[in-house]
Amino acid sequence: MPSRFARLSQPVRWEATLVVVLLVTLEIVRSSGPTFDSVAGDHGVLIAAAVAVATFGAAVSVWPWVRFWGTGRGLAVGLVLLAITRLAIQEPVPRHVATVAVACVVALVTTMIATVACVRADATGPVRAVRGVFIAMAANAVLNVVWGTWDPVWRSSVIAIGYAVVLAVLLVFAAVALPHEESSRRLDSRAGAIGPVIAFGSVFLGAPAFVAAQTGLSTPLAAMLICLACGAAILSLTLSAPLVMPGVLLTAAVASTFLVPGVGAAVAIALAFIAMAHALVRAWRSATGSRWGGLGAGLISGLGLALIVLPYQAHYEMPLPIPQVWLPIAGAGLIAVAGFTASTVRRPTGLWRVPIVLVLVAMIPLALQVTRPGSASAPSDGDELRVLSWNIHYGVDGRATVSPEAIATVIENSGSHVVVLQEVSRGWPIAGGMDLVDWLPRRLGFDYVWSPAADRQFGNLILSALPMSDPDIGRLHRGEGSQTRSFAAVTVEFAGDEYRVMTTHLQHRDVTDTRLDQIDTIMDEWNGVVRTIIAGDLNAEPGWPEITEFTEAGFRSAQDEVGDPDRFTSPSVNPRHRVDWIFGTVDLVFTSFELLDTTVSDHLPLTATVRPA
C-alpha cells in the first residue's frame, strides 16, 4: 500500500487525503450535536451556545498553527491528531464535552490545511480540491445509509470500532507518506469557505436524513440523490463555459430546498451542489494567501459553520427574530461571496470518470431500498390490544449518546401491537443526524405513519405490527409556541375489531391557550369516532384545563383507570411531572397500565392493554 500510494502523482495524493479528512470531519461535526445539547440540558441554552461557538470559533487556531509549522508539517500534525481524536470519541470510550470540542477544532483545522494543500498542488489544484469535497460528500451519504444513519462513532460493535481504526490508520499513513517540505506559512481567507461546506455536508444538503425530510424520499433514495448530485456537480466542471453567477444560483437553490418541499426540493438540492462546485472553484482559484489570511479563514470556517447550524437548532428554545431558514441561506451567501471572482482555471484530465464511479456507487443505497425487511408478525394471543406511547427524546439517552437500538429493544420487549412515538428525529443536528423514521421501522419490521412537525425533521411516528388503514396527518395551531406541532392518526384492526389510534405532542412551556387550541384541532379530527385511543406527550399535568378537555369529551385515562395516578412520567430519572397520557373513548375498557423502567429517554414509556367494552 505505501508503494502504491507513493506511485500516485502528488496532486492525486493531496486529493485522496482531503477526501479521507473531510469524511472524518463530517462525522465528527455531526456527532457533536448531542454533546452540545447535553450542555443545554444541564446548564441552559445560552451556556451551550457559548461552548459551541467557542469550540468552532477556535478554528482560528489554524492561523498560528500554519505560521508555526507551515502547511506541510502542519497538515502532518493535524492528521495524527485527527486520528487520535477520532478514536477518543468512539464508543464505548466515555465522551466528554472537552474531548468532543478538541476533536471538532482539530477536524476543522486539518480540513482547512488539507484543502489549501490540495489547491496549491498544481495548476489544477482548485478543481481537484472541489472534486475531493464532492467525492467525500457522496461517500459520506452512502456510508451514512449503510450504517442506517446511526453513525459508527455511536456504536460499540467490533465492526464500528474496526471502521474507526481503519480511518485512523489511513490518516496516520497519509501523515507519514505525504511530503512535508511544502512550508508556506500563509493562507487565504477564502479557504474558510470549507466551514459552510461542512455545515451543508454534515447536517443539511449532504445528509440523507435531511434530504429525505425535505423531499419525501426514503433515506436510501435520498442518499442516492446526493450521490448523483455530487457526480453531476463534478461533471459540470467539464463545461467549456463556466457557470454564470454560481453564488446567486446556490443561494436561490438552498432557499428552495427549505421552502419548496417535495420534488422542488430534490431539484433544488441537485442545483445547489452544481452551483456550490463552481463557486468553490472560483473561490479557491483566487486563494493566494496573505499575512492575515489564516485568521480570516479560521473565523469564516468556524463561525460560518457554527452560525449556520447552532442558531438553526437553538431557535426552538430561543426563538430568533428572523425565520431560521435564513441561516443556511446566509451560509450559501458566504460561499457565494468567497466565489465572487474570475473563474479561469485549468482542469485535470479524466474529470468525467469520477461521476461514472459515483453513479455505480449510488446503486448501493438503491440496493438498500429494494431489500427492505418484511413486516413483523403481530402477537396473536388474546383479545386485548397492547399500545405503547413514548417521547423518545430524538433517540438520545442520558449519556448524550445516540442509542436507537436501546429504544427498539424496549419496544420489542413490551410486546406492543401499536407504538406511538413523539420527538422522533429525522436528521436533527442535536440527534446526531439520525433518521429514526427510517431506522425504527426497518429494525422492528413495523409499518408506519410519519407526521412531520417543526422543520419536517422532527415529529410523531406511529408504528404498527397490525394492518393499518385511513392514515391521516396534520399540523396544529402554532400560537405562542416556538415550533409547529403535528398529529398522526390511523385505523388498526385487531381480533376482529377496528381501533382508531391518534398521537400528538402538544406545545411545551406555559402556553395553556395554545395547547387548548391544539386540542380543539385534535377533537375535530377525532369527530366522535368509536373505539379511539389518543396518546402522547401533552405537556399538561392532571387537573389542568387541557386534561379536562379530554375528560369532558368522554375520554378516560388508562393510568387513572387501572394504573397508579400518583406516578410521574418525566424525567426518567427522579420523575417530577406527569405529562404523558393514554386516553380511550368510553366504549373501550383498559385492563392494564404500566410505566416501563428505562433511562433510554428523558420520558418513561407508557403501555396499556385495551379491549372493547
Each residue's pLDDT tens digit, 154-174: 999 999 999 999 999 999 999
pLDDT of residue 2: 54
337 and 486 fall within a common domain? no
Confidence tier at 182 by pLDDT (50, 70, 90): low
405 and 270 fall within a common domain? no
485 and 598 fall within a common domain? yes
Domain harbouring 605, CATH code:
3.60.10.10
94 and 137 fall within a common domain? yes
Residue that finishes a domain, picked among 336, 368, 400: 368
Domain assignment present for residue 379? The answer is no
Confidence tier at 322 by pLDDT (50, 70, 90): confident
Residue that finishes a domain, picked among 368, 401, 417: 368
Give CA–CA dist 19/141, Å, rounded: 13
Please determine, for residue 1, whether its predicted confidence score (pLDDT) is greater than 90.
no
Domain assignment present for residue 105? The answer is yes
Confidence tier at 183 by pLDDT (50, 70, 90): low
Confidence tier at 356 by pLDDT (50, 70, 90): confident
Domain assignment present for residue 211? The answer is yes
Residues 6+ apart with CB under 8 A from 243: 236, 249, 274, 275, 278
Please determine, for residue 247, whether its predicted confidence score (pLDDT) is greater than 80.
yes
Cell numbers for 200, please give them: 451543508
Report CA dihedral (376, 420, 142, 14) to the nearest 10 degrees. -150
Each residue's pLDDT tens digit, 433-451: 999 999 999 999 999 999 9
204 and 327 fall within a common domain? yes
* First vs last C-alpha separation in the chain: 71
403 and 364 fall within a common domain? no
Each residue's pLDDT tens digit, 464-515: 999 999 999 999 998 888 889 999 999 999 999 999 999 999 998 888 999 9
CB 448 within 8 A of CB 219: no
Lowest-confidence region among 3-17, 110-124, 298-312: 3-17
280 and 409 fall within a common domain? no
468-475 sheet: strands from edge to edge: 468-475, 486-494, 497-505, 532-537, 580-584, 556-557
Q: For CA atoms 487, 491, 493, 499, give the dihedral sign.
A: positive
Domain assignment present for residue 376? The answer is no
Each residue's pLDDT tens digit, 264-286: 999 999 999 999 999 999 888 86
Domain assignment present for residue 355? The answer is yes
Q: What is the DSSP letter of 377?
A: P
Q: What is the pTM of this model?
A: 0.93
Lowest-confidence region among 114-118, 142-146, 347-351, 592-596: 347-351
82 and 198 fall within a common domain? yes
Residue keyed to cell 470518470: 353
353 and 486 fall within a common domain? no
Domain assignment present for residue 595? The answer is yes
pLDDT of residue 188: 83
* Integer Rg of the chain from CA: 25
14 and 90 fall within a common domain? yes
Please state, for a pLDDT cut of 70, what percent of the chain lies above it: 94
Section 522-541 average pLDDT:
97
Domain membership of residue 18 as a residue range: 2-368
168 and 60 fall within a common domain? yes
Beta strands 418-425 and 458-464, pairing class: antiparallel
Section 358-370 average pLDDT:
88
Q: In a 3-state reduction of DSSP, which class is residue 114?
A: helix
Confidence tier at 189 by pLDDT (50, 70, 90): confident
Domain harbouring 307, CATH code:
1.20.1250.20
CB 210 within 8 A of CB 236: no
Domain assignment present for residue 556? The answer is yes
Number of domain units in the chain = 2
588-595 sheet: strands from edge to edge: 447-453, 458-464, 418-425, 385-391, 606-612, 588-595
| Angle at CA of residue 519, ends 521 and 506, nearest 5° | 110
Domain assignment present for residue 284? The answer is yes
342 and 389 fall within a common domain? no
| Average pLDDT of the residues of the chain | 91
Residue 578 dihedral angles phi and psi, to the nearest 5°: -120, 90
